[in-house]
Structure 1
């Protein structure tokens, strides 16, 4: 270890690339894991003063792996809250029905549409958040509301699921939300799922007593378990943020290993004589490996200690952008996470040691005669292991591309990405094979010039150096073209495909609201479905399904004497083991139950289950319509606007595209950053090691400008090799993805590649490469003068 420390201290420049790679990797991982661990579920603010909460019972998990809850009816919730209010230590038991309410200012919906879905509450539930009247009186009847920031007596236009309304403000409250009379809140909401208890005394004792009262009719939570009541929309937002953070950690670790491995491999090659001298004086292969591991341990420990504060200080600065882009919920804050810092430190050291493993193994095999070698000619650019790895990954990648159209649709995207990864790895491994003929071809026009000859011969005797520079460029250009091209191609065809499936040319769509109110829908000449959620019991199993309320004309005739019924598609009928005439036991969104006969089974029925629209509205008063397919002129409505079917589809694509673009920006940014580091480090080390060569050129009469032209041409050549290989592999992989999409949609698909983004990446790599080769030569020139 003492020798390792001395080597690092006296030759720190040779380890600078490893130091920076590990430091940045640790910073990325520390920052991302700090944010990830800080992003934990939290109980809604409106329950801050309710240490005990009672939740409606769960019937299992839905398709997303989230618990599926059934609602209490208004009567069930009131009866249960009355029993809970009698428990010792309970000061109040309040039901918490929620409903859609959004303020209208100057004729336009105001505020966040998604927040408005849960903005309406019963006045009695204000006590669960500790909210109190600041002025005025509580609401007592229809059309009365208590809100924050509006003077009592004011008239306030709002939007509800039923339609526009104008409420009278009876009081001002010190908390967020719209609070109406309890009876009105129960009428406007789809059942009740939470009853909150305010207590005077031991909350856990009250929770235990409450469990005895509730029994199987609900679940009592207290303490940290209250955080499980976080709204599903917020939980999904956190999930999106988690995917980006996980991708950052994985990519940061992977690229750090790549850079460290490249740096150590080049460093080992440049220290060939030094290692040969150690072998000549009796050092065993094991001692050489241990020396390199010890050197890496010293430098990685120093780098990790430098990266930890950088990551910890950067994490809080990302809070605003994450919230603004919808990857974290409003109010999210970053807290200190010692476990994240400790784990990042250990990971940084382990990654560095993993990166040096191959280089250490190869260096330990250096013969003692290498101490006597003066020539810088590489004896063998392609080792047997490199041949095997390159050929195997190329074969596997090609096989995946060829067989991808025959795979299941759900597996094709993963297969396409896997094929691209394999082919990019193969291109990096086999790059030395391409470099020799490519160099001869490019330099052929200048074969008689001194500069052309020096570039050609200097590159041909240092193929591994060129390959080491080209590899990170290859991966970055390949990933950039592949990711951006895949997204652009799918977006282009998806928009046209979805628009073609809409049987209308004009659509009435939400405008600043989460959905269309009932009055806006009924005023139009057109068709629409009202989304709702049904719990269907078959035997001993109850499961939740998306359903849609449809007009009678779409349902067809029902069984004699029935007032309702359902239409199933074939997939849903198979899931429910149902046929025409089968009676389904369902529980509506408001908690009420019904037995509905199956009217018909069709090839497709929207969400899979169609029910009469009037029944869906009756049992789900908070439901909103997503769009109306117009067959007449639109009628002006607050929160609605007409548009073409293509524009309507594009809105959703653009919303998803914003998140995808953010993911791409972060991932490509990380990759480009590490690529610049790898290229700069490789060229800096290589150029510094070529000082004797440059000295010989100067003695032979070469000017500094000529030397700069030679080194710059070599750098540009390495970038060109990486660009051509990366772009070629990416376009081949994209062609496979396009073929799979064409087979799925049964239509021609245009290949769209955003070359502008790729050009920016290539330009960045070029600038970094030129700077990394030019600066050492200029510095040597200035020091010589």
Structure 2
């Protein structure tokens, strides 16, 4: 009852906690809704085939995805014959897929799987709406007008197809034999059947044994193309980061808000203790107050987050964070989980404040003085110095660490130093304030600002801490990304031994026709399975004209040893390793003609030119630097998106922390401002004093954060230079740092002005 009465009558004191939890719950609810809506789904083109057969898995790749091998033509024929023994199975339809792209149309990430056999249209329930099915090479069924000419790009090169039929299904459908001849093997067979799908699947698995994995119903989600799954994975990383940062930031804001509230309620808590309240009762009261606020905030924030989630679905598709067709759907678990998480993080945030509040002595009710007796407690000194020592030790130890550990160590050192700066801020605020206000000591406003700030060092530190962390993180993250991108451009260009390259132009790779006759060296990309003893793993391979069989040391195959390969078409072959090269262009390098013979759908990433290129469809010539920069920009686009979303969320929580701290602190200083008015100060002078104090606190935090971020960046640059073996420019993101600092200062000014203006009636 006491907790409810406190919340009801003093809700303004809990505004910071309420807003922080509301925002955190909304972020979590929206992010989890988007995440759960993005779980792998059975491909739409298999909607009419409830039972599918997948080729055997031989392990997992670097992304944790199953490494699926292809069936050979003989294996596929035997499997089909076995499956037809079940009378419930009415059709056995292999599903070869291959690369095809309409000429002049930008690839949106699906071109590699847009080519199909006409028989596989039945797996999606697609039908002819006009015309006929394809009967020979060069004929296609697509969502185009019958008898129209279709200019396409394939792995072979530019082709002109005749549209002989119109269908309601996506993609391009050619004859079954033509599709088999173009595809990099077959890994999926669809079944049309009668009866219960689970029973059919069980019977099919019994017939096949280890020759394939039968999947039915929702389990068909495992058939989602790896390219689509990886797009979902990218989006999932952003959503997970948002949930994690939202939860931790909520704890931070709630903790600072509750600590300030407890300090301002010291006399009230002392009165409760004098009235007979035990420390446990005081703790339970604070926990109950926070739980009520968190529950109300959760009930508002969770529906808000789920309502906003569908609005973010289309932008996520546009940014390449989700596959085409993605939609956010209602997820009850996201709502309930977000409310529960909001309650838990709020209680975690109030824990320290509740413990301190329970130790308030009854005599505190008789104390009138509000001036701080000391800016630093012994525990804060110890914690700050220990964290500072740990961060400094990491920076000092970086030169002797392994190269691959230096960047991570630099990030860890930066976070420790930022934490130490926040803990020790009261120590450096005094000297900084004296230095900053020195020129204005003679003025009345300057004197009041100076003495008021020095008297309330802990209040200033509470305002400066979130600004410090935000500016420090902004400088560190944006500077680190910019520095690494600068280094990547240098390193990437050095790996291309030519001034000009022939690169794909709006396509996933170069066709065979685009590469043939070009003056230079090309790399045909494929993936092979290699067997070492009892273990089979997938490896990227490059087909280079005239190249001997070459492996890197990581492949684990000795010079002159047999290399057991399984090709993309499912066939196996044993080759002899002729060269071990740690600088090879791929883990396995093979003769180009051999790769092409086993992978008709393989594409070339680029051609390193040694002369003037010949014009080719889907290709363009550009300098090595521009080629590398485009790849960096493409990756950087996603990195920048991640970066600014995280910085934006951090800045949002900083706004809450700064605004709430200053609103509460300014409101608590009403007697002080009333005394100033009685002494002759006008409203404008009071506003100038509060504005100067707010700006001073924000600038102090920004300077400390910028200094720590810049110091940490030097360690990151040193790690990058050591890794590359050459000098790298240190990029300081002045625009981002100044922008965030200015935003924090503006918020601080507004947060102090509002209570003063609202209470102007009390001036007399």
TM (normalized to structure 1)?
Answer: 0.96
Residues 670-728 of structure 1, C-alpha deviations (whole Å, 9 max, x = no match): 11111011101000001100010111111111111111111111101100110011001
1:620-659 → structure 2 map (5 Å cutoff) = 620-659=599-638
Q: CA deviation at 1:336?
A: 1.5
User: What's the counterpart of residue 422 of structure 1?
Assistant: 416
| 8 A Cα contact 2:403 2:722, kept in partner | no
When the two chains are superposed, the root-mean-square deviation of aligned CA atoms in Å is: 1.3
Find the residue that maps to 2:563 and give its secondary structure.
strand
User: What's the counterpart of residue 191 of structure 2?
Assistant: 197
| 8 A Cα contact 1:304 1:345, kept in partner | yes
User: What's the counterpart of residue 53 of structure 1?
Assistant: 52
| 8 A Cα contact 2:677 2:763, kept in partner | no
Q: Alignment partner for residue 285 of structure 1, among 252, 273, 279?
A: 279
Residues 461-511 of structure 1, C-alpha deviations (whole Å, 9 max, x = no match): 111100000001001001111110000010011112210221010000000
User: What's the counterpart of residue 443 of structure 2?
Assistant: 449
User: What's the counterpart of residue 142 of structure 1?
Assistant: 137
User: What's the counterpart of residue 559 of structure 2?
Assistant: 579
Deviates more, 1:11-20 or 1:358-367: 358-367
Q: Alignment partner for residue 171 of structure 2, among 169, 172, 177?
A: 177
| 1:756 corresponds to 2:735 | yes
User: What's the counterpart of residue 553 of structure 2?
Assistant: 570
| 8 A Cα contact 1:113 1:514, kept in partner | no
Find the residue that maps to 1:158 and give its secondary structure.
strand
CA distance in 2: counterparts of 1:487 and 1:325, whole angstroms: 19
Q: CA deviation at 1:113?
A: 4.7
CA distance in 1: counterparts of 2:759 and 2:533, whole angstroms: 84
| 8 A Cα contact 2:313 2:328, kept in partner | yes
1:94-493 → structure 2 map (5 Å cutoff) = 94-104=93-103, 108=104, 110-148=105-143, 150-493=144-487
Residues 165-191 of structure 1, C-alpha deviations (whole Å, 9 max, x = no match): 111111111101111111111111111
CA distance in 2: counterparts of 1:212 and 1:5, whole angstroms: 64
1:505-524 → structure 2 map (5 Å cutoff) = 505-524=499-518
CA distance in 1: counterparts of 2:725 and 2:682, whole angstroms: 63
User: What's the counterpart of residue 560 of structure 1?
Assistant: none
Q: Alignment partner for residue 704 of structure 1, among 670, 683, 700?
A: 683
| 8 A Cα contact 1:89 1:202, kept in partner | no
CA distance in 2: counterparts of 1:763 and 1:51, whole angstroms: 58
CA distance in 1: counterparts of 2:763 and 2:447, whole angstroms: 26
1:84-95 → structure 2 map (5 Å cutoff) = 84-95=83-94
CA distance in 1: counterparts of 2:383 and 2:413, whole angstroms: 15
Residues 305-363 of structure 1, C-alpha deviations (whole Å, 9 max, x = no match): 11111111111111011111111111111121111111111111111111111111112
| 8 A Cα contact 2:459 2:665, kept in partner | yes
Q: CA deviation at 1:75?
A: 3.4
User: What's the counterpart of residue 80 of structure 2?
Assistant: 81
CA distance in 2: counterparts of 1:336 and 1:536, whole angstroms: 44
| 1:19 corresponds to 2:18 | yes
| 8 A Cα contact 1:536 1:587, kept in partner | yes
Q: CA deviation at 1:415?
A: 1.6
Q: CA deviation at 1:23?
A: 0.8
| 8 A Cα contact 1:259 1:678, kept in partner | yes
Structure 2 residue runs of 5 or longer lacking an equivalent are none
Q: How many residues align?
A: 764
Q: CA deviation at 1:402?
A: 1.6
CA distance in 2: counterparts of 1:674 and 1:751, whole angstroms: 29
Find the residue that maps to 2:621 and give its secondary structure.
strand
Find the residue that maps to 1:610 and give its secondary structure.
strand
Q: CA deviation at 1:15?
A: 0.8
CA distance in 2: counterparts of 1:601 and 1:496, whole angstroms: 26
| 8 A Cα contact 2:674 2:762, kept in partner | no
Q: CA deviation at 1:283?
A: 2.0
| 8 A Cα contact 2:674 2:763, kept in partner | no
| 8 A Cα contact 1:508 1:634, kept in partner | yes
Q: CA deviation at 1:571?
A: 2.6
| 8 A Cα contact 2:79 2:211, kept in partner | no
Residues 548-583 of structure 1, C-alpha deviations (whole Å, 9 max, x = no match): 11111x42xxxxxxxxxx2122232xx23x222x22
| 8 A Cα contact 1:88 1:206, kept in partner | no
CA distance in 1: counterparts of 2:320 and 2:362, whole angstroms: 60
TM (normalized to structure 2)?
Answer: 0.98
Deviates more, 1:537-546 or 1:44-53: 537-546
| 8 A Cα contact 2:510 2:618, kept in partner | yes
CA distance in 2: counterparts of 1:372 and 1:783, whole angstroms: 25
1:524-673 → structure 2 map (5 Å cutoff) = 524-552=518-546, 554-555=547-548, 566-572=549-555, 575-576=556-557, 578-580=558-560, 582-673=561-652
| 8 A Cα contact 1:113 1:513, kept in partner | no
Q: CA deviation at 1:780?
A: 1.4
Q: CA deviation at 1:268?
A: 1.0
| 8 A Cα contact 2:407 2:720, kept in partner | no
Deviates more, 1:750-759 or 1:118-127: 750-759
Structure 1 residue runs of 5 or longer lacking an equivalent are 556-565
Distance 1:539-1:75 versus aligned 2 partners, 3 A rule? same
CA distance in 1: counterparts of 2:373 and 2:660, whole angstroms: 23
Deviates more, 1:456-465 or 1:773-782: 773-782
Deviates more, 1:634-643 or 1:137-146: 137-146
User: What's the counterpart of residue 39 of structure 2?
Assistant: 40
Q: CA deviation at 1:783?
A: 6.2
